[in-house]
Structures are given as C-alpha cells and as structure tokens.
Amino acid sequence: MIDERGARAVLERTGRAKDAGEVFAAASARLRRLVNFQAAAWSATDPETGLVTAPMRVENLGRGDDCFTYWECALLEESVIPFRELARAAVPAAGLRASTDDLPARSAQYRKLLGRQGVGDELRAVLRAGGRPWGVVSLFREKGSAPFGAADVALLASLSAPLAGRLRALARPVQPVGDAGTPEPGLIIFDAAGTPLSINDAARAYLDRLPAGPSRPSPLGPPLPVWLTGAAAQARAVAAGRDRGAARVRIRTRDGRWLVCHASCLDGPDGAPGPTAMVIQPAAGSDMAPIIAEAYGLSPRELEITQLVARGLSTGEIAAELVISPHTVRDHIKTVFAKTRVTSRGQLVARLFTADYWPRRTAGSVPGSAA
C-alpha cells in the first residue's frame, strides 16, 4: 500500500519551493524519512529529449568524478531499467535488485561504480507529467540493507506526476534582468572518443554562466558539465546506430536565461566516425515554445489559439482560421486565461510573448507548430 500521508507531506514540502533545486532538496529530505536510503541523485531533464540538464542534486554519491561517471553511464550504457524505458513504462519507478532477480551486477552502472561504492540496491524513477519527462531520481541503499520493496516503488511512482508538475510549473521562463551576454554561438569540438579538442571564446563565456553540477576536467581549460558531454555522447550513439533521438538539451543559466546545446557527429575520412561538434547558443522562441506550452499545460489547440491571439485576430477571425465556432474559441480562451492566470488578451500576450521566448504564430505557419 502507498503511504498516502507520507506522499502528501512530500508534496506539501515541495509546494513551497522556488526553483527545481529546492524541489529536489525538499523531496529528498522528506523521502528519507519514508524510504530508508543513504545516497540520492536528482536531475531535471529536457522534456523533449529526456537528457539530463540543470539543476542536479547529488547526495553522498562520492567524488565529483564518480557523479559524472554515474550520469554518463545512466545515459549511455545502462540496459537494466534505463531511464528512457521508465519514461514510457506503465509504472515509472523500479528497483534494481527486484528487476534483476537479485543479481544487481547485471547493471553496467552497478559494475562500473555502484558496487565498488558499497551500494546494495537502487530505486529509480522518472518524474513525468503529460507524457513528458521533467526529472529523474535515484535512491541508493548500502550493502547489507534490505532491498527496496514494492511499497517503496509504489510510493515513488505515486510521486512521479505531482513532482513533475512542480518542475513543469517552475520551468516557466522569467523576464531576465541585465545584459544577455554573449550573443554569438559557442562551439566545442570533440574527437571520436569524446575527448574535447577545441573551444571558442563564446563557448567559454557560456560555460561561465552555467550552474554548478557534476563535471569533468577538460584539456581546454574549463571543466565540462555532464549535460554537455552527455549530449555529445548521445550524438555519437545516434551516429553509430546505437540510439535514436535528438542530441539536444536546454539548460537554464544562473541568471534565469535559457541556452540550447545541440551536438552532431561529423563524418570522417572514408565514412569513418569523425569529430562531434557542439553548438551552444541562447534559446530562441522556437526552442522555448514547447517548454512554455508544457509549463502552462496548454493543449495543442490552446497553443494555436494563443498564437493567433498574439497576432491580434478577433474571436470571429480565429474561428474562421481554425474552422471552429466562435463559442468554442471563447471557451478555449477562457481556459487559457485560467491556466496562465491572466484576465485579458493583453495580459496573455505580455506574459507569454514579450520576453522574446516564444515566437508569435505568423500567417502561413503550420497549425500546432512551435513557430
């Protein structure tokens, strides 16, 4: 049975959080009273690609290099309850010992890191809402402790959607203050093995603005956080046919702005794997539209109507454009107002569009698209 009282206590504690980092700290502190564990790892994820991003919270998982190894292995090597499968599973949480018939060494992470650190079992979950992953969490028990049980799995699974909802709401962009800083794209080149080869000044400037997190020393000077190297490794995995999906992640900087990092694997001589190029640049409206739509819980139709409102179309004009009734348009607009907590079209446009995060839908754009 699920400890419903305990679950409510976790959510009450996280409801006062001002950012994702505070959500992780509050949830972990309260969960420790309900689910005995000695170490934990929490991370936000990009809701489109599922790749880990900032912020991260790591508790008692060893040195910084060990934290880096954990996330790198979780993204690229793990075949036992990998996060990408939990994101689609009916139950978004699972225990390592229970999933391996009490043979945890079947896990690549356990063999490479967890076993030698004295970990006996891991309970992990994907925090998902609206079918999107907004975060991941792993809880660890030391060797000699009882494995995580069905009640532990059920409790963490029950917290998946509400905690993801907290993260989703806190992902809403805020109007940043001050100079945007470096406008030109940053570029980092990695060799075929993932070793960084070169970096430009713009990339160095962007790295200086990133929040703290697990990172690895680089011969280029600034250490590279796991969010960037993970995306670069994902690009290599896609190029080699070992994985699918975009090697792309959005990261929130310390000043509240958003960056987008995109990696692609280049061809070498005679078709051999070549270097990987990573571009880092400020997130454009098309990059942030999915985040904003998800953060406010807007449906595809509500997104369309909101973009048409921003173009200045009247209720009748929106109805004609979308071939629906004016009454339906008004109902959708009321729902959008409630979700975004505004009371007029002017407030709606000001809240969602004036920060230059979300492009207004222009005539001729594809309905339901981000642009």
Q: How many Cβ atoms sit within 10 Å of the Cβ of residue 334?
A: 10
**3-state DSSP of 23-68:** HHHHHHHHHHHHCCCCEEEEEEECCCCCCEEEEEEEECCCCHHHHH
95 vs 85: CA distance, rounded Å: 14
Contact call for residues 200 and 281 (beta carbons, < 8 A): no
**How far are the Cα atoms of 168, 232, 296 from residue 290, in angstroms, in the given order?**
11, 22, 10
pLDDT (mean) for 258-270 = 87
pLDDT (mean) for 292-301 = 83
Whole-structure pTM value: 0.80
What is the reported pLDDT for 261? 94
DSSP state of 81: S
322 vs 299: CA distance, rounded Å: 15
**How far are the Cα atoms of 54, 91, 168, 194, 352 from residue 161, in angstroms, in the given order?**
19, 11, 10, 35, 24
Q: Which two tokens stand for residue 358?
A: 């979300």
Q: Which two tokens stand for residue 83?
A: 């996060």
Question: Kind of pairing, strands 221-225 and 248-252?
Answer: unpaired
pLDDT (mean) for 127-147 = 93
- Is residue 72 pLDDT above 60, yes or no? yes
Helix axes 315-322, 326-340, angle to 10 degrees: 110
Q: Grade residue 360 by pLDDT with cuts at 50, 70 and 90.
A: very low
What is the reported pLDDT for 48? 86
pLDDT (mean) for 19-37 = 93
Q: Give the chain's mean pLDDT.
A: 85
What is the reported pLDDT for 366? 32
Contact call for residues 276 and 194 (beta carbons, < 8 A): yes
Question: Tens of pLDDT along 112-130?
Answer: 888 888 999 999 999 999 8
Torsion, Cα 68 159 337 362, to 10 degrees, reads 40
What is the reported pLDDT for 363? 46
Q: How many Cβ atoms sit within 10 Å of the Cβ of residue 4?
A: 10
Tokens 């009916």 — which residue? 90
- Residues of the chain with pLDDT > 90: what percent? 44
DSSP assignment of 146-170 equals PPP-HHHHHHHHHHHHHHHHHHHHH
Q: Grade residue 332 by pLDDT with cuts at 50, 70 and 90.
A: very high
Strands (E), 226-356: 248-252, 258-267, 273-282
pLDDT (mean) for 150-173 = 91
What is the reported pLDDT for 174? 63
- Is residue 369 pLDDT above 50, yes or no? no
**How far are the Cα atoms of 311, 346, 359 from residue 317, in angstroms, in the given order?**
11, 17, 20
What is the reported pLDDT for 64? 59
